Structure 1
Amino acid sequence: MPHALAHIDTWIFDLDNTLYPASCHLFAQIDDRMGRFIMELLGVDAAEARRVQKGFFHAHGMTLRGLMTDHGVDPHDFLAKVHDIDLSVVEHDAALVSALGALPGRKIIFTNADLHYATRVLARLGLEDAFEAVHDVHAMDYQPKPAAAAYARLCEQHGIDPTRAIFFEDMARNLAPAKAIGMTTVWIDNGSEQGPAVAGDFIDYRITDLGAWLGEVVAELETA
Protein backbone atom coordinates (compact mmCIF):
# COMPACT_ATOMS: atom_id res chain seq x y z
CA MET A 1 0.00 0.00 0.00
CA PRO A 2 2.40 2.78 1.03
CA HIS A 3 4.74 2.16 -1.91
CA ALA A 4 1.86 3.17 -4.18
CA LEU A 5 2.04 6.61 -2.54
CA ALA A 6 5.74 7.23 -3.17
CA HIS A 7 4.89 9.62 -6.01
CA ILE A 8 2.71 11.87 -3.82
CA ASP A 9 4.13 15.35 -3.21
CA THR A 10 0.95 17.14 -2.07
CA TRP A 11 -1.32 15.93 0.74
CA ILE A 12 -4.75 17.60 0.72
CA PHE A 13 -7.17 17.34 3.63
CA ASP A 14 -10.76 18.27 4.27
CA LEU A 15 -11.28 19.79 7.72
CA ASP A 16 -14.59 18.93 9.41
CA ASN A 17 -15.05 15.27 10.40
CA THR A 18 -11.74 14.49 8.70
CA LEU A 19 -8.99 15.98 10.88
CA TYR A 20 -11.12 15.35 13.96
CA PRO A 21 -13.54 12.43 14.54
CA ALA A 22 -17.22 12.83 13.71
CA SER A 23 -17.93 11.32 17.13
CA CYS A 24 -17.08 14.62 18.85
CA HIS A 25 -20.23 16.05 17.20
CA LEU A 26 -18.69 19.43 16.49
CA PHE A 27 -20.56 19.71 13.23
CA ALA A 28 -23.84 19.08 15.06
CA GLN A 29 -23.38 22.48 16.69
CA ILE A 30 -22.92 24.10 13.28
CA ASP A 31 -25.93 22.21 11.96
CA ASP A 32 -28.04 23.56 14.81
CA ARG A 33 -26.91 27.15 14.27
CA MET A 34 -27.62 26.88 10.53
CA GLY A 35 -31.15 25.76 11.37
CA ARG A 36 -31.67 28.75 13.67
CA PHE A 37 -30.30 31.11 11.03
CA ILE A 38 -32.78 29.81 8.44
CA MET A 39 -35.69 29.94 10.89
CA GLU A 40 -34.99 33.62 11.54
CA LEU A 41 -34.27 34.46 7.91
CA LEU A 42 -37.38 32.83 6.46
CA GLY A 43 -39.72 33.00 9.45
CA VAL A 44 -40.31 29.25 9.46
CA ASP A 45 -40.40 26.52 12.10
CA ALA A 46 -37.55 24.12 12.88
CA ALA A 47 -38.87 21.33 10.65
CA GLU A 48 -39.15 23.57 7.59
CA ALA A 49 -35.78 25.16 8.28
CA ARG A 50 -34.17 21.72 8.34
CA ARG A 51 -35.87 20.77 5.08
CA VAL A 52 -34.53 23.93 3.43
CA GLN A 53 -31.09 23.48 4.95
CA LYS A 54 -30.63 19.87 3.87
CA GLY A 55 -32.12 20.58 0.46
CA PHE A 56 -29.48 23.22 -0.18
CA PHE A 57 -26.75 20.98 1.26
CA HIS A 58 -27.58 18.09 -1.06
CA ALA A 59 -28.13 20.30 -4.12
CA HIS A 60 -25.16 22.65 -3.76
CA GLY A 61 -22.61 20.87 -1.55
CA MET A 62 -23.17 23.35 1.27
CA THR A 63 -26.15 25.19 2.72
CA LEU A 64 -24.53 28.60 2.25
CA ARG A 65 -24.46 28.36 -1.55
CA GLY A 66 -28.23 27.80 -1.70
CA LEU A 67 -28.89 30.65 0.71
CA MET A 68 -26.72 32.99 -1.35
CA THR A 69 -28.35 31.97 -4.64
CA ASP A 70 -31.99 31.93 -3.51
CA HIS A 71 -32.04 34.48 -0.69
CA GLY A 72 -29.07 36.81 -1.19
CA VAL A 73 -27.46 35.89 2.15
CA ASP A 74 -24.12 37.56 2.90
CA PRO A 75 -21.55 34.74 3.28
CA HIS A 76 -19.44 36.55 5.88
CA ASP A 77 -22.45 37.16 8.12
CA PHE A 78 -23.66 33.58 7.77
CA LEU A 79 -20.28 31.99 8.46
CA ALA A 80 -19.60 34.21 11.47
CA LYS A 81 -22.91 33.16 13.03
CA VAL A 82 -22.85 29.42 12.31
CA HIS A 83 -19.20 29.02 13.34
CA ASP A 84 -19.69 30.74 16.71
CA ILE A 85 -19.53 27.39 18.53
CA ASP A 86 -17.81 25.64 21.43
CA LEU A 87 -14.59 24.01 20.19
CA SER A 88 -13.68 22.43 23.53
CA VAL A 89 -14.99 19.08 22.25
CA VAL A 90 -12.06 18.95 19.81
CA GLU A 91 -9.00 17.43 21.46
CA HIS A 92 -5.29 17.57 20.69
CA ASP A 93 -4.41 14.57 18.49
CA ALA A 94 -0.78 13.65 19.17
CA ALA A 95 -0.72 10.77 16.68
CA LEU A 96 -2.04 12.96 13.88
CA VAL A 97 0.33 15.81 14.71
CA SER A 98 3.28 13.42 14.59
CA ALA A 99 2.22 11.74 11.36
CA LEU A 100 1.53 15.00 9.52
CA GLY A 101 4.85 16.43 10.65
CA ALA A 102 6.68 13.44 9.20
CA LEU A 103 4.89 13.35 5.84
CA PRO A 104 7.14 14.35 2.95
CA GLY A 105 5.82 17.11 0.72
CA ARG A 106 3.23 19.87 0.94
CA LYS A 107 0.13 19.78 3.15
CA ILE A 108 -2.99 21.84 2.32
CA ILE A 109 -6.47 22.17 3.82
CA PHE A 110 -9.37 22.14 1.31
CA THR A 111 -12.56 23.07 3.15
CA ASN A 112 -16.04 24.44 2.50
CA ALA A 113 -15.65 26.36 5.79
CA ASP A 114 -13.72 29.63 6.12
CA LEU A 115 -10.16 30.42 7.17
CA HIS A 116 -11.04 31.95 10.55
CA TYR A 117 -12.96 28.87 11.68
CA ALA A 118 -10.37 26.47 10.22
CA THR A 119 -7.58 28.25 12.10
CA ARG A 120 -9.43 27.84 15.39
CA VAL A 121 -10.03 24.12 14.80
CA LEU A 122 -6.42 23.50 13.78
CA ALA A 123 -5.21 25.21 16.95
CA ARG A 124 -7.36 22.88 19.06
CA LEU A 125 -5.84 19.88 17.28
CA GLY A 126 -2.28 21.16 17.70
CA LEU A 127 -1.95 21.56 13.94
CA GLU A 128 -1.73 25.34 13.62
CA ASP A 129 1.69 25.08 11.91
CA ALA A 130 1.15 21.85 9.99
CA PHE A 131 -0.28 23.21 6.73
CA GLU A 132 1.10 25.40 3.99
CA ALA A 133 -2.31 26.88 3.19
CA VAL A 134 -6.03 26.73 3.89
CA HIS A 135 -8.06 26.83 0.68
CA ASP A 136 -11.45 27.90 2.01
CA VAL A 137 -14.90 28.71 0.64
CA HIS A 138 -13.91 32.32 -0.07
CA ALA A 139 -10.94 31.12 -2.14
CA MET A 140 -13.36 28.86 -4.03
CA ASP A 141 -15.42 31.94 -4.96
CA TYR A 142 -18.35 30.23 -3.20
CA GLN A 143 -18.38 27.28 -5.60
CA PRO A 144 -17.89 24.58 -2.94
CA LYS A 145 -17.02 20.92 -3.13
CA PRO A 146 -18.15 18.86 -4.98
CA ALA A 147 -18.31 21.43 -7.82
CA ALA A 148 -15.54 20.65 -10.31
CA ALA A 149 -14.58 24.33 -10.37
CA ALA A 150 -13.54 24.14 -6.70
CA TYR A 151 -10.91 21.48 -7.47
CA ALA A 152 -9.65 23.26 -10.58
CA ARG A 153 -9.28 26.51 -8.62
CA LEU A 154 -7.43 24.71 -5.80
CA CYS A 155 -4.89 23.22 -8.22
CA GLU A 156 -4.47 26.48 -10.14
CA GLN A 157 -3.97 28.72 -7.11
CA HIS A 158 -1.52 26.38 -5.38
CA GLY A 159 0.33 24.93 -8.38
CA ILE A 160 -0.80 21.38 -7.68
CA ASP A 161 -0.28 18.52 -10.12
CA PRO A 162 -3.36 16.42 -9.31
CA THR A 163 -1.66 13.21 -10.45
CA ARG A 164 0.86 13.72 -7.64
CA ALA A 165 -1.71 14.67 -4.99
CA ILE A 166 -3.82 12.70 -2.50
CA PHE A 167 -7.09 13.96 -1.05
CA PHE A 168 -8.65 12.92 2.29
CA GLU A 169 -12.40 13.47 2.84
CA ASP A 170 -15.23 12.22 5.07
CA MET A 171 -17.86 13.04 2.41
CA ALA A 172 -17.47 10.28 -0.16
CA ARG A 173 -19.13 12.21 -2.96
CA ASN A 174 -16.52 14.97 -2.65
CA LEU A 175 -13.85 12.49 -3.74
CA ALA A 176 -15.37 11.86 -7.17
CA PRO A 177 -14.23 15.17 -8.76
CA ALA A 178 -10.77 14.70 -7.23
CA LYS A 179 -10.45 11.25 -8.79
CA ALA A 180 -11.70 12.60 -12.12
CA ILE A 181 -8.68 14.92 -12.39
CA GLY A 182 -6.18 12.27 -11.33
CA MET A 183 -5.88 12.59 -7.56
CA THR A 184 -5.50 9.59 -5.28
CA THR A 185 -8.51 9.50 -2.95
CA VAL A 186 -9.01 8.46 0.67
CA TRP A 187 -12.44 8.21 2.28
CA ILE A 188 -12.55 8.73 6.05
CA ASP A 189 -15.45 6.38 6.79
CA ASN A 190 -16.35 7.55 10.30
CA GLY A 191 -20.13 7.77 10.28
CA SER A 192 -20.52 11.39 9.20
CA GLU A 193 -23.54 12.48 7.14
CA GLN A 194 -23.14 11.46 3.50
CA GLY A 195 -26.06 12.90 1.56
CA PRO A 196 -27.27 11.18 -1.63
CA ALA A 197 -25.77 7.75 -2.26
CA VAL A 198 -23.02 7.54 -4.86
CA ALA A 199 -20.98 4.74 -6.38
CA GLY A 200 -17.64 4.13 -4.70
CA ASP A 201 -15.43 3.33 -7.70
CA PHE A 202 -13.60 6.65 -7.25
CA ILE A 203 -12.33 5.75 -3.76
CA ASP A 204 -8.78 4.37 -3.63
CA TYR A 205 -8.52 3.87 0.14
CA ARG A 206 -11.21 3.54 2.79
CA ILE A 207 -10.02 4.15 6.35
CA THR A 208 -11.44 4.93 9.78
CA ASP A 209 -8.47 6.34 11.74
CA LEU A 210 -6.54 9.05 9.90
CA GLY A 211 -3.68 9.43 12.39
CA ALA A 212 -3.01 5.69 12.61
CA TRP A 213 -3.16 5.22 8.84
CA LEU A 214 -0.84 8.12 8.12
CA GLY A 215 1.54 6.81 10.76
CA GLU A 216 1.76 3.50 8.90
CA VAL A 217 2.28 5.31 5.60
CA VAL A 218 5.12 7.39 7.05
CA ALA A 219 6.82 4.30 8.48
CA GLU A 220 6.63 2.46 5.17
CA LEU A 221 7.81 5.44 3.11
CA GLU A 222 10.79 5.89 5.40
CA THR A 223 11.88 2.29 4.85
CA ALA A 224 11.04 2.07 1.14
Structure 2
Amino acid sequence: MLPPALRHIDCWIFDLDNSLYPASADLFALIDRRMTLFIQQLVGCDPVAARKVQKDYFRDHGTTLAGLMREHGTDPHHFLDFVHDIDLARIAADPRLVAALDRLPGRKLVFTNGDEAYARRVLEKLGLGNAFDGLHDIHAMDYVPKPDPGAYARMCERWQIDPARALFVEDMARNLAPAKALGMMTVWIDNGSEQAEAEADPAFIDYRIADIGDWLTQITGGERS
Protein backbone atom coordinates (compact mmCIF):
# COMPACT_ATOMS: atom_id res chain seq x y z
CA MET A 1 0.00 0.00 0.00
CA LEU A 2 1.22 3.48 -0.83
CA PRO A 3 2.12 5.99 1.88
CA PRO A 4 -0.90 8.13 2.91
CA ALA A 5 0.48 11.23 1.21
CA LEU A 6 0.42 9.45 -2.16
CA ARG A 7 -2.80 7.48 -2.00
CA HIS A 8 -4.77 10.11 -3.88
CA ILE A 9 -2.50 9.84 -6.94
CA ASP A 10 -4.17 8.11 -9.89
CA CYS A 11 -1.82 9.26 -12.69
CA TRP A 12 1.94 8.78 -12.49
CA ILE A 13 3.93 10.74 -15.09
CA PHE A 14 7.58 10.02 -15.81
CA ASP A 15 10.25 11.78 -17.81
CA LEU A 16 12.27 9.33 -19.91
CA ASP A 17 15.92 10.26 -20.42
CA ASN A 18 18.11 10.22 -17.30
CA SER A 19 15.00 9.41 -15.26
CA LEU A 20 13.97 5.86 -16.16
CA TYR A 21 17.63 4.90 -16.61
CA PRO A 22 20.79 6.15 -14.83
CA ALA A 23 22.21 9.50 -15.90
CA SER A 24 25.62 7.81 -16.05
CA ALA A 25 24.52 6.10 -19.28
CA ASP A 26 24.75 9.53 -20.94
CA LEU A 27 22.73 8.70 -24.03
CA PHE A 28 22.45 12.41 -24.70
CA ALA A 29 26.16 12.56 -25.56
CA LEU A 30 25.42 10.22 -28.47
CA ILE A 31 22.37 12.24 -29.51
CA ASP A 32 24.34 15.47 -29.25
CA ARG A 33 26.97 14.18 -31.66
CA ARG A 34 24.26 13.18 -34.12
CA MET A 35 22.82 16.72 -33.92
CA THR A 36 26.20 18.17 -34.83
CA LEU A 37 26.55 15.73 -37.73
CA PHE A 38 23.06 16.61 -38.99
CA ILE A 39 23.97 20.29 -39.11
CA GLN A 40 27.31 19.54 -40.79
CA GLN A 41 25.51 17.73 -43.58
CA LEU A 42 22.73 20.30 -43.83
CA VAL A 43 24.88 23.43 -43.88
CA GLY A 44 28.03 21.97 -45.38
CA CYS A 45 30.48 23.00 -42.69
CA ASP A 46 33.08 21.49 -40.39
CA PRO A 47 32.24 20.05 -36.94
CA VAL A 48 33.37 23.16 -35.04
CA ALA A 49 31.14 25.47 -37.07
CA ALA A 50 28.25 23.00 -36.88
CA ARG A 51 28.61 22.85 -33.11
CA LYS A 52 28.37 26.63 -32.89
CA VAL A 53 25.22 26.67 -35.04
CA GLN A 54 23.74 23.95 -32.87
CA LYS A 55 24.32 25.83 -29.63
CA ASP A 56 23.27 29.17 -31.13
CA TYR A 57 19.95 27.67 -32.22
CA PHE A 58 19.48 26.13 -28.79
CA ARG A 59 20.11 29.51 -27.15
CA ASP A 60 18.02 31.59 -29.55
CA HIS A 61 15.09 29.25 -30.20
CA GLY A 62 14.86 27.08 -27.07
CA THR A 63 15.84 23.88 -28.90
CA THR A 64 18.18 23.04 -31.76
CA LEU A 65 15.18 21.58 -33.61
CA ALA A 66 13.18 24.79 -33.29
CA GLY A 67 16.07 26.74 -34.78
CA LEU A 68 16.44 24.31 -37.67
CA MET A 69 12.72 24.44 -38.39
CA ARG A 70 12.70 28.24 -38.31
CA GLU A 71 15.93 28.86 -40.21
CA HIS A 72 16.01 25.91 -42.63
CA GLY A 73 12.50 24.50 -42.80
CA THR A 74 13.79 21.22 -41.41
CA ASP A 75 11.29 18.36 -41.25
CA PRO A 76 11.12 17.51 -37.52
CA HIS A 77 10.46 13.82 -38.22
CA HIS A 78 13.59 13.59 -40.37
CA PHE A 79 15.70 15.38 -37.76
CA LEU A 80 14.46 13.31 -34.84
CA ASP A 81 14.86 10.02 -36.71
CA PHE A 82 18.46 11.00 -37.53
CA VAL A 83 19.58 12.20 -34.10
CA HIS A 84 17.94 9.30 -32.25
CA ASP A 85 19.62 6.67 -34.43
CA ILE A 86 21.96 5.64 -31.62
CA ASP A 87 23.19 2.43 -30.00
CA LEU A 88 21.29 1.69 -26.78
CA ALA A 89 23.86 -0.76 -25.43
CA ARG A 90 24.57 1.60 -22.53
CA ILE A 91 21.20 0.91 -20.88
CA ALA A 92 19.59 -2.25 -19.53
CA ALA A 93 16.54 -3.34 -17.56
CA ASP A 94 16.45 -2.73 -13.81
CA PRO A 95 14.35 -5.55 -12.33
CA ARG A 96 13.50 -3.45 -9.27
CA LEU A 97 12.06 -0.68 -11.43
CA VAL A 98 10.14 -3.09 -13.65
CA ALA A 99 8.58 -4.76 -10.61
CA ALA A 100 7.84 -1.51 -8.78
CA LEU A 101 6.10 0.05 -11.79
CA ASP A 102 3.99 -3.07 -12.09
CA ARG A 103 2.87 -2.66 -8.47
CA LEU A 104 2.09 1.04 -8.87
CA PRO A 105 -1.70 1.65 -8.97
CA GLY A 106 -3.33 3.97 -11.49
CA ARG A 107 -2.31 5.16 -14.95
CA LYS A 108 1.33 5.55 -15.90
CA LEU A 109 2.49 7.92 -18.65
CA VAL A 110 5.80 8.98 -20.18
CA PHE A 111 6.26 12.72 -20.84
CA THR A 112 9.34 13.30 -22.98
CA ASN A 113 10.95 15.97 -25.13
CA GLY A 114 12.07 13.12 -27.38
CA ASP A 115 9.85 11.48 -29.95
CA GLU A 116 7.67 8.42 -29.56
CA ALA A 117 9.68 6.10 -31.81
CA TYR A 118 12.88 6.74 -29.82
CA ALA A 119 11.05 6.54 -26.49
CA ARG A 120 9.57 3.16 -27.35
CA ARG A 121 13.00 1.81 -28.33
CA VAL A 122 14.39 2.94 -24.98
CA LEU A 123 11.45 1.53 -23.02
CA GLU A 124 11.80 -1.85 -24.75
CA LYS A 125 15.52 -1.93 -23.87
CA LEU A 126 14.62 -1.14 -20.25
CA GLY A 127 12.09 -3.97 -20.09
CA LEU A 128 9.28 -1.39 -19.83
CA GLY A 129 7.68 -1.81 -23.23
CA ASN A 130 4.31 -2.65 -21.68
CA ALA A 131 4.62 -0.68 -18.45
CA PHE A 132 2.94 2.55 -19.55
CA ASP A 133 -0.57 3.50 -20.59
CA GLY A 134 0.47 6.36 -22.84
CA LEU A 135 3.28 8.53 -24.10
CA HIS A 136 3.28 12.31 -24.70
CA ASP A 137 6.16 13.32 -26.96
CA ILE A 138 7.58 16.35 -28.77
CA HIS A 139 5.21 15.90 -31.72
CA ALA A 140 2.22 16.03 -29.35
CA MET A 141 3.71 19.23 -27.88
CA ASP A 142 3.72 20.89 -31.32
CA TYR A 143 7.52 21.08 -30.95
CA VAL A 144 7.34 23.43 -27.96
CA PRO A 145 9.01 21.30 -25.27
CA LYS A 146 9.17 21.20 -21.48
CA PRO A 147 9.34 23.43 -19.52
CA ASP A 148 6.90 25.50 -21.61
CA PRO A 149 3.62 25.46 -19.63
CA GLY A 150 1.66 24.78 -22.81
CA ALA A 151 3.26 21.35 -23.12
CA TYR A 152 1.88 20.37 -19.71
CA ALA A 153 -1.56 21.81 -20.42
CA ARG A 154 -1.80 19.93 -23.72
CA MET A 155 -0.77 16.68 -22.03
CA CYS A 156 -3.42 17.10 -19.32
CA GLU A 157 -6.08 17.84 -21.92
CA ARG A 158 -5.10 14.98 -24.21
CA TRP A 159 -4.95 12.37 -21.46
CA GLN A 160 -7.72 13.85 -19.27
CA ILE A 161 -5.40 14.23 -16.30
CA ASP A 162 -6.58 15.87 -13.09
CA PRO A 163 -3.38 17.62 -11.93
CA ALA A 164 -4.51 17.43 -8.31
CA ARG A 165 -4.37 13.64 -8.58
CA ALA A 166 -1.17 13.42 -10.64
CA LEU A 167 2.53 13.12 -9.82
CA PHE A 168 5.42 13.99 -12.13
CA VAL A 169 8.94 12.52 -11.87
CA GLU A 170 11.78 14.33 -13.67
CA ASP A 171 15.58 14.67 -13.46
CA MET A 172 15.67 18.32 -14.58
CA ALA A 173 14.41 20.38 -11.66
CA ARG A 174 13.29 23.35 -13.76
CA ASN A 175 10.85 21.06 -15.62
CA LEU A 176 8.96 20.45 -12.39
CA ALA A 177 7.90 24.07 -11.85
CA PRO A 178 5.07 24.10 -14.46
CA ALA A 179 3.76 20.77 -13.14
CA LYS A 180 3.66 22.13 -9.60
CA ALA A 181 1.93 25.30 -10.83
CA LEU A 182 -0.85 23.10 -12.25
CA GLY A 183 -1.24 21.35 -8.90
CA MET A 184 0.72 18.15 -9.46
CA MET A 185 2.93 16.53 -6.86
CA THR A 186 6.55 16.55 -8.02
CA VAL A 187 9.58 14.32 -7.63
CA TRP A 188 13.08 15.49 -8.54
CA ILE A 189 15.62 12.76 -9.34
CA ASP A 190 18.80 14.43 -8.11
CA ASN A 191 21.15 12.07 -9.92
CA GLY A 192 23.80 14.43 -11.25
CA SER A 193 22.31 14.66 -14.73
CA GLU A 194 22.28 18.45 -14.65
CA GLN A 195 24.48 21.11 -13.10
CA ALA A 196 21.61 23.39 -12.19
CA GLU A 197 20.94 22.80 -8.52
CA ALA A 198 20.25 26.52 -8.10
CA GLU A 199 17.06 25.88 -10.07
CA ALA A 200 15.94 23.17 -7.63
CA ASP A 201 13.60 25.36 -5.58
CA PRO A 202 11.90 23.48 -2.70
CA ALA A 203 8.77 25.50 -3.48
CA PHE A 204 8.07 23.27 -6.49
CA ILE A 205 9.68 20.00 -5.36
CA ASP A 206 7.75 17.64 -3.08
CA TYR A 207 10.23 14.75 -3.10
CA ARG A 208 13.97 14.76 -3.79
CA ILE A 209 15.33 11.31 -4.57
CA ALA A 210 18.53 9.81 -5.97
CA ASP A 211 17.24 6.69 -7.73
CA ILE A 212 13.80 6.03 -9.20
CA GLY A 213 13.99 2.26 -8.68
CA ASP A 214 14.79 2.64 -4.98
CA TRP A 215 12.05 5.21 -4.41
CA LEU A 216 9.31 3.30 -6.23
CA THR A 217 10.33 0.07 -4.52
CA GLN A 218 10.05 1.81 -1.16
CA ILE A 219 6.65 3.46 -1.73
CA THR A 220 5.08 0.35 -3.28
CA GLY A 221 6.17 -1.86 -0.40
CA GLY A 222 8.74 -3.95 -2.23
CA GLU A 223 11.98 -5.11 -0.68
CA ARG A 224 14.87 -2.72 -0.92
CA SER A 225 18.14 -3.90 -2.39
Same fold (TM over 0.5): yes
- Give the partner amino acid of 1:103: L
Which has the larger displacement, 50-59 or 84-93? 50-59
CA–CA distance in structure 1, aligned partners of residues 16 and 62 of structure 2: 15
Q: Is the 8 A contact 1:172 1:194 kept in 2?
A: no
- Give the partner amino acid of 1:113: G
CA–CA distance in structure 1, aligned partners of residues 55 and 180 of structure 2: 25
Q: Is the 8 A contact 1:13 1:168 kept in 2?
A: yes
1:30 is matched with which residue? Answer: 31
CA–CA distance in structure 2, aligned partners of residues 36 and 47 of structure 1: 10
Which has the larger displacement, 13-22 or 189-198? 189-198
1:207 is matched with which residue? Answer: 209
1:79 is matched with which residue? Answer: 80
The Cα of 1:44 is off from its aligned counterpart by 3.6
Change (3 A) 1:57 1:99: farther
1:90 is matched with which residue? Answer: 91
User: What is the correspondence of 1:1-224 to structure 2 with a 5 Å cutoff?
Assistant: 2-58=3-59, 60-193=61-194, 198=199, 200=201, 201-219=203-221
CA–CA distance in structure 1, aligned partners of residues 89 and 173 of structure 2: 27
Q: Is the 8 A contact 1:171 1:194 kept in 2?
A: no
Change (3 A) 1:187 1:196: closer
- Give the number of aligned pairs: 220
Secondary structure in 2 matching 1:166: strand
The Cα of 1:27 is off from its aligned counterpart by 1.5
Change (3 A) 1:93 1:198: same
Deviations 1:152-185 (CA, angstroms, capped at 9, x unpaired): 0000000000111111111111111111111111
Q: Is the 8 A contact 1:62 1:112 kept in 2?
A: no
- Give the partner amino acid of 2:217: G
Unaligned residue ranges in structure 2 (runs of 5+): none
Q: Is the 8 A contact 1:170 1:189 kept in 2?
A: yes
- Give the partner amino acid of 1:203: I
Unaligned residue ranges in structure 1 (runs of 5+): none
CA–CA distance in structure 2, aligned partners of residues 61 and 211 of structure 1: 31
